[in-house]
Chains A and B, each alone.
Chain A
Amino acid sequence: MKEILTKYFSGEINGSEERKLFGQMEYDESLRAEYIRLQNIYALTLLGQHPSQEAEGVKGFTTFSQRLQARKRQMKARVILQYAATALLLITSTFFLTRALLLRSNAAIEMNTLYVPAGQRAQLTLHDGTQVWLNAQSTLTYPARFSGNRREVSVVGEAYFDVAENRQKPFVVTTQQLTMEVLGTEFNVYSYPEAGYTQTSLVEGSLRVSETSNKNKSVLLSPYHQVTFSDNKMQLDKLNNPEHLLWRDGIYSFHNEQLIKILAKLELYYDITILVEDPEIFNIRYTGKFRQRDGIDEILHILQKIQSFKIHKDKENNLITLSK
């Protein structure tokens, strides 16, 4: 055993010897004591200075200076968002409920705002029976009751709608760039301000999609198609990644998507800043799924298996830095 221990601490042990060693250590107390002693003696020998280590120090210092600069930049740009630790949903009423109850439909309709924080998702049912799923960092603004001849809501972020059918009252979803009008249908809308584009995907039914700033420009969507709005124009395509809609079940699915884009989405879903020092290594494309509840650390470790990179976490500043 002594020889195996020596081999171990020289870094020359092989797999089966290692298994033997740790196997015996499980019940041999004195062997464990000897391990601890030797481990600490060898660690102790590393405290002295050696000239050969200077080059390593220089290399480390370069990396250190870069990280220090990145941290300074990050602290200037950061917007601090506070969340209650236990609150899952934040519902606010912008008008007093009692006032609304007293006044009937012609008066101001109180609008509710539902905000879902990072790393969470929510599902709710509107007054007409329409079901809505909201993804992380998304806001739904909706009235407590639908009155008048239209049902109107607005969305920032990502939401999936299963609209209750009502031929007399079209259901209208407004986002910053696109407005969707439906009678009864299931569709997904993706409109995060940071993303740079808006996308609506239709699962079932029929949907009229128009530009919010110019209602004359519109497209009629048929099932399993999607409209993407970017660079000021609408593009109609077939639904390219229906599994993306699994987000409602807490599964993030990517289809042939560049890692760098996946990282951008993870930033949104988990409210964390990911700084990429060597972006060229993240061009590789990935197809796969993650569970939302796995958390960002687990997901990054899975991604490391496809593309090797180094992770540095700065917990205080909510920043993860990835590098070659």
Chain B
Amino acid sequence: MQISSQHSSQFEEIYLSHYARMKRFAMEYVIREEDAENIVQDVFLELWEQKLLLVSHTYLFAWLFTATKNRCLDLLRHKTVVRKGAEKLMDEHNIELQMKLQSLEAFDNKIFSEPDIESVVQKAIDTLPKKCREIFVMNKIEGKKQKAIAAELNISVHTVESQMTIAHRKLKEALKEYIPLLLFLLV
């Protein structure tokens, strides 16, 4: 099984461009960074073996994120299986995992295949006022806590909080058509 050097450098490019956002996406649902890392590494191992590189960017993007989503679903399902004789009263960690699972199940795969989804998302973030955007990126994309952001930008935690509230409101507005309000919950 000869791996061409072209294959490896192409692969590395794709890896570097997608790894971090796949991991952050996974962390939204599986919570633990370690679990998210393992999932994303496994997806890339699968990609390496499949040699799926001679395809369009859109296809690759959809493949990577769908694979990530599916592995997250597997993990969450495994963790939320109610064992025989378990207490009826579940602790809130379990309820949280259940909610994450339900959310991910409701996340439509078609979104990953939307040809311009990346620019749609980027545009939505760009609609935020400059400071607000900066704070949002630091919190959600870079994973920094509000206290750390306040310290780094030399502003109050209260300011960070209110900017995040604005960010949430504006992003909800910009992206709501992609994530419709569920009027009837799927059982």
A22 lies within 8 A of chain B by Cβ: yes
Closest to B17 in A: A49
Residues of A near B65 (CB, < 8 A) are 47
Residues of A near B7 (CB, < 8 A) are none
> Can you offer 18 A-B residue contacts whose CB atoms are under 8 A?
A6-B164, A10-B139, A12-B146, A33-B185, A36-B102, A39-B28, A39-B29, A42-B168, A45-B171, A47-B21, A47-B117, A48-B125, A49-B122, A53-B20, A56-B23, A57-B19, A60-B41, A61-B16
Select the stretch in A63-71, A119-127, A153-161, A257-265 that faces chain B: A63-71
Q: Scan residues 54-109 of chain A and give those whose CB is less than 8 A from a CB of chain B.
A: 54, 56-58, 60-61, 63-64, 67-68, 71
Residues of A near B63 (CB, < 8 A) are none
Q: With A29-B185, A33-B181, A53-B141 given, is the CB distance from A61 to B100 under 8 Å?
A: no
User: Footprint of A on B, CB under 8 Å?
Assistant: 12, 15-21, 23-25, 28-29, 34, 37-38, 40-41, 44-45, 48, 65, 92, 95-96, 99-100, 102-104, 106-107, 111, 117-118, 121-122, 124-125, 136-137, 139-142, 145-146, 161, 164-165, 168, 171-172, 175-176, 178-183, 185
Interface SS majority for chain A: helix
Q: With A41-B179, A44-B179, A61-B12 given, is the CB distance from A312 to B140 under 8 Å?
A: no
| Given A40-B104, A46-B25, A57-B20, 16 new contacts (CB under 8 A) | A6-B165, A11-B146, A12-B146, A35-B99, A37-B179, A41-B172, A43-B28, A44-B111, A47-B118, A49-B122, A57-B17, A60-B20, A64-B41, A64-B45, A310-B34, A313-B38
A52 lies within 8 A of chain B by Cβ: yes
Residues of A near B99 (CB, < 8 A) are 22, 25, 32, 35-36, 39
A18 lies within 8 A of chain B by Cβ: yes
A-B contact count (CB 8 A): 158
Q: With A22-B92, A36-B103, A312-B41 given, is the CB distance from A44 to B21 under 8 Å?
A: no
